[in-house]
Structure 1
Amino acid sequence: MANVVITGSTKGIGRGLAAEFARLGHNVMIAGRSQQAIDEAVAEIGSQPGTVSGRPCEVSEKDQVQALWDAAVTEFGSVDIWINNAGLARTVWPILETPDEEIQAMVTTNMFGTIFGSKVAISGMKKQGHGKLFNMLGGGSDGEFFPGIGIYGTTKRGLNYFTDALIKENKDSPLVIGKIRPGMVITEAVVREAKADLNNFNKNRKTMNNLCDTVETVSPYLVDQILKTEKSGTKIRWLTGAKIAKRMMLSRFVSQPDKFEAFGL
C-alpha cells in the first residue's frame, strides 16, 4: 500500500482523491490551512481501510511544506506519492478588473505552493530512493483561453512549463513526475464562482452540464491512473478532446440532467 500526501485536500477534488486512496487501503496525509478544516475532512471521509491523517499547511510557506513532509514520514515511514493539488481560482473578472489581492493570492497559492511542494517532495524522494510527484493543472495550462481565467490560467500555464522542466531535470533519477488535468469538476470553488456571476453561469448552464462531472465521478479514475503511472512525463487527463466531442454530439439528441441543482444553483 502507498503512503500519499495531498495538499489542498480538505475539500474539492483533493478530498475526493484522499477518500478514494483511503478506500483502497492506502495511507493518506491531507493538508489544509486550518486544523478545523482538516478535522472536518477526516470526519467526513470516515473510517476506511487506509489511515487518514492531516496537518495544517500554508503551501506558500516552504517551512510549512517541509513540516508536512516530515510529519508524513514520521507517521507512515515514507512518502510514495505527493500530489500538489492546492490551488485557488477566481474567475469572475477580466484581468484589469481582478483585485490586486486576488491576483496575489492566486499567484502565491498556485505557483509558490506547487514550486515549494515540488522542491520538498523531490528532495525527500531522492533521499529515500523512490517516489511519484504529480502537479495538478487546469484551465489555461495548455494555452487555451476562457473568459475570466486570465490570471488563474497564467499560473497554470506556468506550472505546465515548470513541471516539464522538473521532468527533464530529473530524467536520470528513479522518480516519476507527472501532470493531472482533472477536467471540469463541480467543487465548492466552482459553485462559489457560479454564484458570484449567476447570469453568466446560466447562459452557459447547458454546456456546463455537458462537460462538468462530480468529484465522486472523477476521483476513482484519477487515483487508478496515479497508481498505474510508472513513466515520468505522463499526463493524466479525464476530460479528453474525444470525450468532449462525444458529449457535445450526444447532447443534441439526449437532454442531460441538471448536475448543479444539488449544489443550490
Structure 2
Amino acid sequence: MAFDELVVVVTGAAQGIGYGVAKAFAEQGARLVLGDRNEEQGAAAAAAIRNEGGQAVYVPCDVRHEDDIKELMRTAVDEYGTIDILINNAGVSRWKSPYDLTSDEWDDILNTNVRSCFLATREAARYMKKHGSGAVVNMASTRAIMSEPDTEAYAASKGAIVALTHAMAVSLGPDGIRVNCISPGWIETGNYESLKKADHEQHPAGRVGKPSDIARACLYLADPDNSFVTGTHLVVDGGMTRKMIYEP
C-alpha cells in the first residue's frame, strides 16, 4: 500500500472528520499520531485504531499553544523516527452577529484555525525536509468561498487557510514538501440516519457528505505518487457551491 509505515500526524483527531481521516490512513498501513485537546476522546480514538490492528498514539495538544504543537511533532519523531504527512484538521466555529463578536472571540477562532496551520506546518516541515519529502493537507471549508449570516471570523479563518496553503506550497516546494487544502461542505459527523430526504436532495450528488468522503480526498492529496499536486484547493461538497438557487 502507498502509505505502509508512513508517519501521519492528524490534529483535531479525536472525533468527526479528524478521526475518520486518521482511521483511513491507519487502514492503509500508516502509523498515526493523533493530536487533540480532549484527552479522554483522544486516547479512546488511538485505542480504537489499535484495536482494529492499526498503529496509533495519542498526544495531548491544544493547537492554540505553540509549545503543544512543537511537542506533538517531537513526540511523533521520538515514537516513529520521522514525519511524512500532516493533516491540519483542528478547528473551531462560532456563529455570532458581527455586532456582538468580541475581539477575543475573533482571535480565538483565527488562532485555532489559521495560526495553528502555519505553526504545525512549520514544525512538521523541519523534520520532513531532512528526508526531502512530505505532504501537508489543511482543512478549510466551503465557508471560504460562500457564507451564511454571522460567520465572519470562521469564514475569514477558512479563507486564510486557502491562501496560506498556496503560499506555503511555494515556499516549501524546494524542500520536497507539498501543501494542499480541502474545503468540505456539509459533512455529517453525528447521526447520519436522522437526516431528512430534503437534506440529501439539496446536494447535486444526491446525499450529504460523510467523514469518509474527506478521508478519501486526504488519501489522494497525501499519496506520494501524486507528486505533481501541490498548492491546490479541493472542494468536496457534493456540488453545493455550484448549485444556483432562485427564490420562487
TM-score normalised over the length of structure 1: 0.77
Residue-pair matches, total: 233
Which of 191, 206, 215 pairs up with 2:198? 206
Cα contact 2:14–2:38 (8 A) shared by 1: no
In the TM superposition, what are the counterparts of 1:94-173 in structure 2 within 5 Å?
94-142=97-145, 144-173=146-175
What is the rounded CA distance, in whole Å, between the counterparts of 2:93 and 2:139 in structure 1?
Answer: 13
- Cα distance in 2 for residues equivalent to 1:129 and 1:28: 20
Distance across 2 between alignment mates of 1:225 and 1:105: 28
Structure 2 residue aligned with 1:222: 218
Question: Secondary structure at 1:96's aligned position in 2?
Answer: coil
Q: How does 1:25-104 map to 2 (within 5 A)?
A: 25-91=29-95, 93-104=96-107
CA distance in 2, matches of 1:159, 1:223: 19
Closer, same or farther in 2 for the Cα pair 1:44/1:101, shift >3 Å? farther
CA contact (8 A) 2:13 2:35 kept: yes
- Name the residue aligned to 1:233: 231
> How far apart in 2 are the matches of 1:167 and 1:66?
21
Give the SS at the match of 1:171. Answer: helix
Report how far residue 242 of structure 1 moved: 8.1
RMSD: 2.9
Query: Which protein is richer in helix relative to its size?
Result: 1
Give, as a single letter, the amino acid of the residue that structure 1 aligns with 2:15.
Answer: K
Supply the distance in 2 between the matched residues of 1:63 and 1:128 (Cα, whole angstroms): 24
Give unmatched runs, 5+ long, in structure 2. none
Show the counterpart of 2:182.
180
Once residues 157 and 63 of structure 1 are traced to their aligned partners in structure 2, the CA distance between those partners, rounded to angstroms, is 25
Q: Is 1:8 the equivalent of 2:12?
A: yes
CA separation of 1:121/1:108 partners in 2, compared to 1, >3 Å: closer, same or farther?
same
Q: TM (normalized to structure 2)?
A: 0.82
Contact 2:142 2:241 in 1 (8 A): no
Amino acid in structure 2 at the alignment position of 1:119: R
Tell whether the 8 Å contact from 2:209 to 2:237 is kept in structure 1 after alignment: no
Percent identity reads: 25
Offset of 1:53 from its aligned partner?
0.8
Give the partner amino acid of 1:59.
V
CA distance in 2, matches of 1:208, 1:98: 32
